[in-house]
Amino acid sequence: MACFTFVKFMMVLFNLLILLVGLTLLGGGIWVSVDGGSFLQVLAPFSTHDMQSVKVGFFCIAIGGVLVLLCVVGCCGAHNESKCLLLLFFSIILIIFIAEVAAGAVALTYSSVAEGILKAWATPVLKNQYGSNLVVTKIWNNTMTELNCCGFTNYTDFTDSYYSEQSEGSYPPSCCQLDTAPCSQQQALLNAVQGCFEQLLEALQKNANIIGGIVVGIGGLEVASMVLSMYLYCYLDNNVS
């Protein structure tokens, strides 16, 4: 009985952690939806302003809502000793865990597909909005300066772009590693500055241990939650029988 009580306590504790994450995502999603402009600086520069403020906000709200609901199901199942709720909690966690594993496998196996999707978003933004949209321009300038990169792929992302047309064929200073413009196409070619996608990959590889630790931690929390919920379910099932 003491073991059962301890497992119930741990189940509630784990669900409080899930609730904390869910409320954080809900708060962030509402912030982005209501005041997306002030949130842009912490978002990746791979989408337009509207996509960031609307889609990211709704996505965070949706995920946060699911986590809060999941916490309610888990806590109620443990506190009320409801086999139905415990089984529902286990099933939801299992589906999420399988989806995460599948997504990770796809990302590792088809990284070129992910690059193609990001490129399809980033290239039109660079060609059409860099230099005309102040928000997009500022985000990309900060990104290229911090990562010492040029465009998404390389300087060719700015060829025949709005910025190039308005600046008489020149490219952003980052493409020539200059502090000031102009940066000609010939200079950009000779400097051969890496694209931001390659720099991001290098940054991810340098921090692979940290990222891996976070992923393992989340996976471990999910597995532990499933084990606890299934233990409670089996205990109740045996007592009823």
Q: How far is CA 197 from CA 81, 86, 188, in A?
A: 50, 43, 17
In tens, the pLDDT along 101-159 reads 887 776 666 666 666 766 777 788 888 888 888 888 888 888 888 888 888 888 888 88
Range of the domain at 16: 2-109
- Would residue 124 count as lying in a domain? no
- Would residue 130 count as lying in a domain? no
- Would residue 167 count as lying in a domain? no
Residues 6+ positions from 207 with CB-CB distance below 8 Å: none
Comparing 16-20, 29-33, 149-153, the range with the smallest average pLDDT is 29-33
In tens, the pLDDT along 32-45 reads 666 555 444 444 44
- Would residue 13 count as lying in a domain? yes
- Measured torsion, CA atoms of residues 93, 98, 101, 102, in degrees rounded to the nearest 10: -140
- Would residue 139 count as lying in a domain? no
Residue 39 · residue 33 · CB < 8 Å: no
Domain count, the chain: 1
- Would residue 141 count as lying in a domain? no
Angle between helix 208-240 and 2-34 (nearest 10): 130
What does 174-207 look like in DSSP terms, one character per residue?
GGGT-SSS-B-HHHHHHH-PPPHHHHHHHHHHHT
pLDDT of residue 241: 53
pLDDT-based confidence at residue 1 (cuts at 50, 70, 90): low
pLDDT of residue 183: 86
- Would residue 216 count as lying in a domain? no
Comparing 82-91, 167-176, 215-224, the range with the smallest average pLDDT is 215-224
pLDDT of residue 211: 67
- Would residue 223 count as lying in a domain? no
Q: What pTM was computed for the model?
A: 0.58
